[in-house]
A and B are shown apart, each in its own frame.
Chain A
Amino acid sequence: MERLTNSLRVRLTSVVLVIHAALVPLLYLGVSAIVEDGYAELFVNPLRSNSRLIADELEAADAQEFPRYAGALLDSVVLSGQVVFAEITDGAQTLHSSLSSVSPGRARGDDFEFADHGDQVYYISHRVKRGTRWVVLRLGFDEGPTLERIAAAKRRVLAAVLAFTAASIAVAIWLSAVIARPMVRLQEAAKRVAGGDVHTELQMHSSIREVRELNHHLERMRQELVGTNDRLESEIRGREASEQKRLDLERRLLHRERIASIGTLAGGVAHEFNNILTPILLYSQIALDDTAPDGALARDLTRIVAAAHRARSLVNRILTFSREMHSQEPAVFSLRPTVEEALALMRAIVPANIEVDFDASEDGTAVQGDPSLVHQVVINLCTNAYQAMRRTGGRLSVKLRGIDNPGDGQINPGSYALLEVGDTGHGMEQAVILHIFEPFFTTRDVGEGTGLGLSVVHGIVTSMGGSITVESAVGQGTTFRVYLPAAAAQVCERSGALG
């Protein structure tokens, strides 16, 4: 950019300089010559006619008085100024004005060129007829003043030419700057565009038409570039989005397939297991029946029966799990079986020092949604409750009922299925309660909790159009209340009536 300015300016200026270097001496010499010629003419022409007049007077002079008359004439001529030398000669005799400032010896011969030698005297000769003879009148004129005037004129010409040159150079420098500035700005703009900033409009208000046109063309190029850029960018975004969609779909399909195969496997294993467990349970109960109640054998058989029962509930959980994974379309379903299934799972997990009780009424607990999600809600809430009581033990109580217009300011009036999960655990401080529904908020040790449990619950509940509230007292326990909008329609046969 600097280079361009410099090179353009230097170029323009030096071109102007070269042109002047060539032209200025020529101009000076030419003008000087014209001035010189003019002055010479002005000097010479009157002298010629004057000296002619003098020659005519000499011709007309009376013969007797001629010498005296001629002497007086010559003197008067010299006295009138300008003439610095006057003489008449007939070859043999020479009459010379004693007033001449140039001595006869120094006076040269005839001379009709102005200033052609160094004595600064211009000589004119006239042949004058005296009777039958010819005499020659020679007059010398002082060139000095004229030469001085010429020199002065030449000096003025020189000054004018030099002033003109200076002005030209100044104009050249200014002009080059005027031309270079918009060029530089255009160059900067072009550089910005090349550097990626394609969104700044190129605005060049220049008085130079070419610059304006150049700007116009560059601006059109930029707009085209922006258009192309935008098109490419949106194309890329579109591709990325569809690729993402494809990946999502693929992942979901894979997930579904995996779940389905887990379900199939679980179903097969469950079938086999239940068949195997049937004789184990029945034979051990027969044997128990045949044994004296207080013996060691009876105790062992009781253990076998208990183990078989545990195995049965485990298989049921696996079946439940795989069924949950299979049903995904939202449907109207009764909450009770779903909550029961989830609680069956919890019962298997929680230690003996925690009591689990479930109190449910069927009425008004049908909701619309995905049962497996509600399953998840129950599991997450119960897991937190269990974790709050792990050390101390306590009671996990789950309640389910339908209510109309809960008297809770946070809940809109209407019919709801209310699921309550209460514990007698350590409870929470207000500062904790404020954040529990935030993703990744956890008070558990690193690696122990992800802090996603309640945010998932919150997400599921709100996606079903419901709300969740919490009530907690430090040291006493916590109760979560989930309000799900009641489905007015009858309970769906599939998942409800069979429960």
Chain B
Amino acid sequence: MASILVVDDEPEVGEAIRRVLARAGFLVAVANSAEDGLRRMDEQRPDIVITDVIMPKVHGLELITMLLSRHPRVRIIAISGGGSFGPLAYKPDAISTHAYLAAAREAGAQELLTKPFDMSDLLAAVRKLLPN
């Protein structure tokens, strides 16, 4: 049974994702901040981390870098709703969801999802990253 960690500063978003994945039979934990996510990562060693990009304090991009440096084998799905918040706001393209996701891919995320995504898209992305 694959285990998944969801990191999003919006509890409702994390919970909805958890429900979808749990229904599909995955083992899911939810963290509401990057710090919380890092802690749980060390505890639970999930196969996949689904993380938001734009989060207060520690940014999703930073989180991805840290996760990969500690656990190089973890698979990462970046999700973003775009918007002008966060450290990338000064760039003209900052409000483009594409820009965040492209940055996330650069940081090492294998899959990218634009919020709001369909249940099927989420499940497809997860299954794509699983070994079998």
Q: In this assembly, does B95 line the interface, its C-beta being within 8 Å of a C-beta of chain A?
A: yes
Q: In this assembly, does B98 line the interface, its C-beta being within 8 Å of a C-beta of chain A?
A: yes
Which segment, of B36-44, B59-67, B116-124, faces chain A? Answer: B116-124
Q: In this assembly, does A272 line the interface, its C-beta being within 8 Å of a C-beta of chain B?
A: yes
Within B15-36, which residues are at the interface with A (CB < 8 Å)? 15-17, 19-20, 23
Contacts of A268 in B (CB 8 A): 83-85
Contact assessment for B92 and A264 in the assembled complex, using a CB-CB cutoff below 8 Å? no
Contact assessment for A286 and B119 in the assembled complex, using a CB-CB cutoff below 8 Å? yes
Q: Which residue of B12, B96, B114 contacts A279 across the interface (Cβ within 8 Å)?
A: B12
Q: In this assembly, does A278 line the interface, its C-beta being within 8 Å of a C-beta of chain B?
A: yes
Contacts of B95 in A (CB 8 A): 263-264, 266-267, 270, 319, 322-323, 326
**Total contacts A to B, CB within 8 angstroms?**
102
Q: In this assembly, does A354 line the interface, its C-beta being within 8 Å of a C-beta of chain B?
A: no
Q: In this assembly, does A405 line the interface, its C-beta being within 8 Å of a C-beta of chain B?
A: no
Contacts of B115 in A (CB 8 A): 274-275, 277-278
Q: In this assembly, does A228 line the interface, its C-beta being within 8 Å of a C-beta of chain B?
A: no
Contacts of A319 in B (CB 8 A): 82, 95-97
Q: In this assembly, does A164 line the interface, its C-beta being within 8 Å of a C-beta of chain B?
A: no
Q: In this assembly, does A205 line the interface, its C-beta being within 8 Å of a C-beta of chain B?
A: no
Known contacts A271-B54, A275-B13; A280/B81 CB under 8 A: no
A273 to B97, CA, bound (A): 13
A281 to B96, CA, bound (A): 21
Contact assessment for B119 and A277 in the assembled complex, using a CB-CB cutoff below 8 Å? no
A80 to B120, CA, bound (A): 173
CB distance from A269 to the nearest CB of B (A): 8
Closest residue on chain B to residue A329 by CB atoms? B92
Known contacts A278-B13, A322-B95, A323-B96; A271/B83 CB under 8 A: yes
Known contacts A323-B93, A498-B98; A281/B118 CB under 8 A: yes
Q: In this assembly, does B94 line the interface, its C-beta being within 8 Å of a C-beta of chain A?
A: yes
Contact assessment for B116 and A312 in the assembled complex, using a CB-CB cutoff below 8 Å? yes
Within A276-311, which residues are at the interface with B (CB < 8 Å)? 276-283, 285-286, 289, 308
Q: In this assembly, does A499 line the interface, its C-beta being within 8 Å of a C-beta of chain B?
A: yes
Closest residue on chain B to residue A305 by CB atoms? B118
Q: In this assembly, does B102 line the interface, its C-beta being within 8 Å of a C-beta of chain A?
A: yes
Contacts of B93 in A (CB 8 A): 323, 326-327, 494
Closest residue on chain A to residue B119 by CB atoms? A285
CB distance from A338 to the nearest CB of B (A): 13
State the interface size on chain A (CB cutoff 8 A).
Answer: 32
CB distance from A52 to the nearest CB of B (A): 144
CB distance from A485 to the nearest CB of B (A): 25
Known contacts A270-B95, A494-B93; A282/B19 CB under 8 A: yes
Interface residue SS majority, chain A: helix
Contact assessment for B116 and A271 in the assembled complex, using a CB-CB cutoff below 8 Å? no
Kindly supply a per-residue 1/0 record for chain A positions 459-483, scoring 1 wherever the CB is within 8 Å of any chain B CB and 0 otherwise: 0000000000000000000000000
Contact assessment for B83 and A272 in the assembled complex, using a CB-CB cutoff below 8 Å? yes
CB distance from A316 to the nearest CB of B (A): 8
Q: Which residue of A267, A277, A322, A499 contacts B116 across the interface (Cβ within 8 Å)?
A: A277
CB distance from A287 to the nearest CB of B (A): 10
A281 to B119, CA, bound (A): 8
Kindly supply a per-residue 1/0 record for chain B positions 72-109, scoring 1 wherever the CB is within 8 Å of any chain A CB and 0 otherwise: 00000000011111000100111111110010000000
Closest residue on chain A to residue B23 by CB atoms? A286
A270 to B99, CA, bound (A): 15
CB distance from A495 to the nearest CB of B (A): 8
A498 to B82, CA, bound (A): 14
CB distance from A234 to the nearest CB of B (A): 41
Q: Which residue of A267, A280, A286 contacts B83 across the interface (Cβ within 8 Å)?
A: A267
A127 to B118, CA, bound (A): 175
Known contacts A268-B84, A279-B15, A282-B16; A274/B23 CB under 8 A: no
Contacts of A270 in B (CB 8 A): 81-83, 95
CB distance from A427 to the nearest CB of B (A): 39
Contact assessment for A282 and B119 in the assembled complex, using a CB-CB cutoff below 8 Å? yes
Q: Which residue of A263, A279, A499 contacts B13 across the interface (Cβ within 8 Å)?
A: A279
A494 to B120, CA, bound (A): 29
Contacts of B12 in A (CB 8 A): 275-276, 278-279
Within A11-67, which residues are at the interface with B (CB < 8 Å)? none
Kindly supply a per-residue 1/0 record for chain B positions 1-23, scoring 1 wherever the CB is within 8 Å of any chain A CB and 0 otherwise: 00000000010110111011001
A271 to B8, CA, bound (A): 13
CB distance from A259 to the nearest CB of B (A): 11
- 8 A-B pairs closest in CB distance: A271-B83, A274-B81, A267-B84, A267-B95, A277-B116, A279-B16, A285-B119, A282-B16
New A-B contacts (16) at CB < 8 Å, excluding given A266-B84, A266-B95, A267-B95:
A263-B95, A267-B84, A270-B81, A274-B83, A275-B81, A278-B10, A278-B13, A282-B20, A282-B122, A285-B118, A286-B23, A286-B119, A319-B96, A319-B97, A323-B96, A326-B92
Jot down 30 A-B pairs with beta carbons below 8 A, ordered by A. A263-B84, A263-B95, A267-B83, A268-B83, A271-B83, A272-B83, A274-B82, A274-B83, A274-B97, A276-B12, A277-B115, A277-B116, A278-B13, A278-B17, A278-B115, A279-B15, A281-B116, A281-B117, A281-B118, A282-B19, A282-B122, A285-B118, A285-B119, A286-B20, A312-B116, A319-B82, A323-B95, A323-B96, A327-B93, A499-B98
